[in-house]
Amino acid sequence: MAQEDVFKKLVAHCKEYGYVFPSSEIYDGLAAVYDYGQYGVELKNNIKRYWWDSMVLLHENVVGLDSAIFMHPTIWKASGHVDAFNDPLIDNKDSKKRYRADVLIEDHIAKYEEKIEKEVAKARKRFGEKFDEALFRQTNPQVQVHRQKKEELTARMAKALNDNDLAELRQIIVDNKIVCPISGTCNWTEVRQFNLMFSTEIGSTADGASKIYLRPETAQGIFVNFLNVQKTGRMKIPFGIAQIGKAFRNEIVARQFIFRMREFEQMEMQFFVRPGTELEWFKKWKETRMSWHQTLGFGAENYRFHDHEKLAHYANAATDIEFRFPFGFKEVEGIHSRTDFDLKRHQEFSGKKIQYFDPELNESYTPYVIETSIGVDRMFLQVVAAAYTEEEIEKEDGSKDLRVVLKLPAALAPIKLAVMPLVKKDGLPEKAEEIMQALRLDFRCQYDEKDSIGKRYRRQDAIGTPFCITVDHQTLEDNAVTIRYRDTMQQERVAIDQLPDILRKKTDMRELLKQIKL
Ligand code: GAP
């Protein structure tokens, strides 16, 4: 199945099974804003807990923070967001549709990558087992041509963005005959800058109200609280501050579901270090964060680093962790070595000294910062995209059937187990209820007695419930139940009093946390 179709199915699945709904749907929705349903919110909370515990439980020197969304407007001047948090915008005069100029070009660049992959796939088919993919990629003339075009275009765009050369960006679009996907024409306006911050007013609107912004990132709340946390927590460098919270960006291109939203959540950690040690810490956090991702078991081959060649003026190293989404490898997390830029700017704009006295060196300095920044929603999309599986299975009568299953890591699954009486009589519902009562404080359980057992299994597969417990007549005699495993569909008879142990071992978040390489 084409990856585009897989993605459409995933979006439909998220809606049908109570994971993600379009916001304000009965009013025809609000672009790039989404609500999380009854299972979505549980998965999201579990993702946040996995991140939070990996930061503050596993690292004694990382502490948490919950700063306000509204902040003093000068903060955004100091951070550079007022002047430079812009996207280059372009309109197609025929369709009247608005685009990000750089995204139009990036999509065009991605087509060269697709062409390369097609050549490789064709050759693999042709040569079979003898196929040497690495050699083919290096030597095939067609692949070379596509790669060269891709590299030239990437470099030209990077230069235009770096030089803030909007005319050149437009020229790249024209030269490459990039057309509007709606009108199919190349009838473009000039490119202009568009600030992504949402603003509102604080105070009475009659007089004295002042303009403030909805934060576009949570990081600045950490920087402006650096001294508060360091002093009250008696923190010694190196140490980190972690925060999870909402962020808002007036994105021009709203698409790919929850990949790019206007209201979203970030999990950010700023790690404050001694100047000169930042690149070592950058390397360490790169490894730790990659290990956090890979511990979920979605396959190491589906992740890669994308090291930035062109760095922002305040960074001396930067990388993205990319995941293979159904629409290609895309950024999930950014890791940046931000030097002392932010703290110095806040010192300059606030007029307050923001420094750390290092007792070992007997001197004061402005700490350097390593930032790890990941979007909760994007991580959510990564998890459901990796977990969504369609399997052809054989029914008892020998006919084929399609099983849709969310193979979520058990520790992240919204519902850990479903308890099902085989029939709705003979005391089985009461026995099932008794089991629920015994387990519900430790595991998120769901009671399900409607429809055939087969249908109930399918419903739980679609939600991603890793374990189903069936209570049958035999249970009333031997106090044992059948446990059915979601991924293998294998069934096993176990004593009811063994359930807590079995479930704990398989669903405990600590088992994941222990595997992360620190
Ligand atoms: N403090 C650094 C920072 O905000 P960023 O690369 O702009 O850096 C970090 O954002 C992460 O936040 C991204 O890797 C992505 O996961 C998430 N993110 C950014 N913009 C987003 C959006 N519009 N919708 C959903 N997630 C977004």
448-490 pLDDT, tens digit per residue, is: 999 999 999 999 999 999 999 999 999 999 999 999 999 999 9
Report which ligand 1 atom has the smallest distance to the Cα of 260.
24
205 has a pLDDT exceeding 80 = no
Substitution candidate for ligand 1 out of 293, 373, 377, 382 with most atoms within 8 A of CB: 373
CB-CB contact of 167 with 188 (8 Å) = no
Ligand 1 centroid to residue 375 C-alpha, Å: 6
Atom of ligand 1 nearest to the CA of 266: 12
Name the residue among 218, 167, 158, 159 with its Cα closest to residue 188. 167
Mean per-residue pLDDT, 341-352: 98
Which residue has the least CA distance to atom 2 on ligand 1? 373
- In the reported structure, the alpha carbon of residue 281 is separated from the centroid of ligand 1 by a whole-number distance in angstroms of 21
Q: Whose CA is nearest to atom 26 of ligand 1?
A: 375
Selection from 90, 305, 293 nearest residue 192 by Cα: 90
Q: From the CA of 334, give the closest atom in ligand 1.
A: 14
Residue nearest to atom 12 of ligand 1 (CA): 375
Q: Is the pLDDT of residue 64 over 80?
A: yes
Tell me the pLDDT tens digit for each residue of 379-433: 999 999 999 999 998 887 888 889 999 999 999 999 999 999 999 999 999 999 9
Q: Please tell me the chain's helix, strand, coil percentages from 3-state DSSP, rounded to the nearest 5.
A: 40, 25, 30
pLDDT at 291: 98
Which residues have C-beta within 8 Å of that of residue 256, sequence separation ≥ 6?
7, 327
What six digits make up the tokens of 274? 């001694």
Q: How far apart are CA 316 and CA 339, in angstroms?
A: 7
CATH superfamily, region 38-71+211-389: Bira Bifunctional Protein; Domain 2 (3.30.930.10)
**Which ligand 1 atom lies nearest to the CA of residue 261?**
24
Exposure on the CB side of residue 288, measured as CA atoms within 13 A: 19
Residue 387 pLDDT: 97
Q: For a pocket test of ligand 1, which of 33, 86, 217 has the largest count of ligand atoms closer than 8 A to its C-beta?
A: 217
Please give the structure tokens belonging to residue 373: 């920044």
- pLDDT category at 140 given cuts 50, 70, 90 is very high
- 201 forms beta bridges with 211
Atom of ligand 1 nearest to the CA of 268: 1
Name the closest-CA residue to atom 14, ligand 1: 333
Residue 250 Cα, ligand 1 centroid: separation in angstroms? 12
Share of the chain above pLDDT 70, in %: 99
Dist. CA 273 → ligand 1 center (Å): 23
Residue with the nearest Cα to atom 4 of ligand 1?
Answer: 217
Please give the number of the atom of ligand 1 that sits closest to the Cα of 251: 23
- Within 10 angstroms of residue 305's Cβ, the number of other Cβ atoms is 12
Q: Which of 130-134, 218-222, 430-434 has the lowest mean pLDDT?
A: 130-134
Which residues are near ligand 1 (CB < 6 Å)?
217, 219, 249, 251, 260-261, 264, 266, 268, 331-334, 371, 373-375, 377-378
Model pTM?
Answer: 0.90
Partners of 376 in beta bridges:
none
**What architecture is domain 410-513?**
3-Layer(aba) Sandwich (3.40)
Question: Tokens 């769901």 map to which residue?
Answer: 446
Ligand 1 atom 17: residue of nearest CA: 375
Ligand 1: atom nearest CA of 219 is 1
- Give the residue whose CA is nearest to atom 25 of ligand 1: 260
> Could you give the percent of the chain with pLDDT greater than 90?
89
Residue 1 has pLDDT above 70, yes or no: no
> Residue 373 CA: which ligand 1 atom is closest?
9
Q: Which two tokens stand for residue 380?
A: 């959510």
Q: Where are the domains of the chain?
A: 38-71+211-389, 86-195, 410-513
User: Residue 116 in contact with residue 109, Cβ under 8 Å?
Assistant: no
Average pLDDT (439-444) is 95
Q: Which residue is closest in CA terms to ligand 1's atom 21?
A: 260
Residue bearing tokens 């350097």: 368
Structure confidence by residue, pLDDT tens digits, 237-285: 999 999 999 999 999 877 789 999 999 999 999 999 999 999 999 999 9
Assigned CATH topology for domain 86-195: Herpes Virus-1 (3.30.40)
What is the arithmetic mean of pLDDT over 353-359?
Answer: 97
- Max Cα-Cα span within the chain: 80
Contact 411, 50 (CB under 8 A): yes
Residue nearest to atom 22 of ligand 1 (CA): 260
**pLDDT over 70 (residue 318):** yes
Rounded Cα distance between 371 and 286, Å, is: 10
The alpha carbon of 256 and the centre of ligand 1 are apart by a number of angstroms equal to: 14
- Which atom of ligand 1 sits closest to the CA of residue 216? 4
Ligand 1 centroid – CA 374 distance (Å): 6
Average confidence score pLDDT of the chain: 94
CA of 259 to the centre of ligand 1 (A): 9
Helices in 188-329 by DSSP H: which ranges?
Answer: 219-223, 226-232, 278-294
Pocket test for ligand 1, best of 378, 379, 380, 383 (most atoms within 8 A of CB): 378
Token couple for 225: 């609280």
